[in-house]
Amino acid sequence: MSENPPGTESIVDHRCGKAVQAELRPLGRALRREIPDVYAAYKQLHEAVTAPGALEPKVKELIAVAVAVSEQCDGCIASHTQAAVSRGATPAEMAEAIGVTFLLCGGPATVYGARAFAAFMEYREAQ
């Protein structure tokens, strides 16, 4: 059983950010060995999209979390909540970004939104 972030003690055996990334890391490495050029191109795209521009990188990561919640992708949630923390997002900003997904995605967003907020808090507490 993984340790849960503060404030989520009642969650039983739910994997959030770090545990999801640990599970996916070896899978991604194995695939990257088979298609290194594709991964290199994706990395280049990622760097271009998240670079400062009209939107600050923090805002872009908040958008990415909202999309990850709407797509119900735990790996994306883990990656982008960690990036949002490193870019200086606050709990209030994260909560509001997640709240937008409730409007557009309904009930499933309340589940994946809670996962995203727990992952965000996990990374924030570790910072």
If one counts the domains in the chain, the total is 1
Per-residue pLDDT of the chain (127 residues; tens, 9 = 90+): 344 455 544 444 467 788 899 999 999 999 999 999 999 999 999 999 999 999 999 999 999 999 999 999 999 999 999 999 999 999 999 999 999 999 999 999 999 999 999 999 999 999 9
In this prediction the pTM is 0.85
Does residue 73 sit within a domain?
A: yes
Does residue 107 sit within a domain?
A: yes
Does residue 4 sit within a domain?
A: no
* 65 vs 57: CA distance, rounded Å: 12
Does residue 5 sit within a domain?
A: no
pLDDT of residue 7: 54
Residue 125 sits at the vertex; the CA angle it makes with 73 and 24, to the nearest 5 degrees, is 30
pLDDT of residue 16: 79
Query: In this structure, what CATH number is given to the domain that contains residue 117?
Result: 1.20.1290.10
Residue whose token pair is 């991964």:
39
Q: Which residues of 32-50 are buried (b: 16+ CB within 10 A; e: fewer)?
A: eeeeeeeeeeeeeeeeeeb
* 66 vs 12: CA distance, rounded Å: 24
* Residue numbers of the domain that contains 54: 17-126
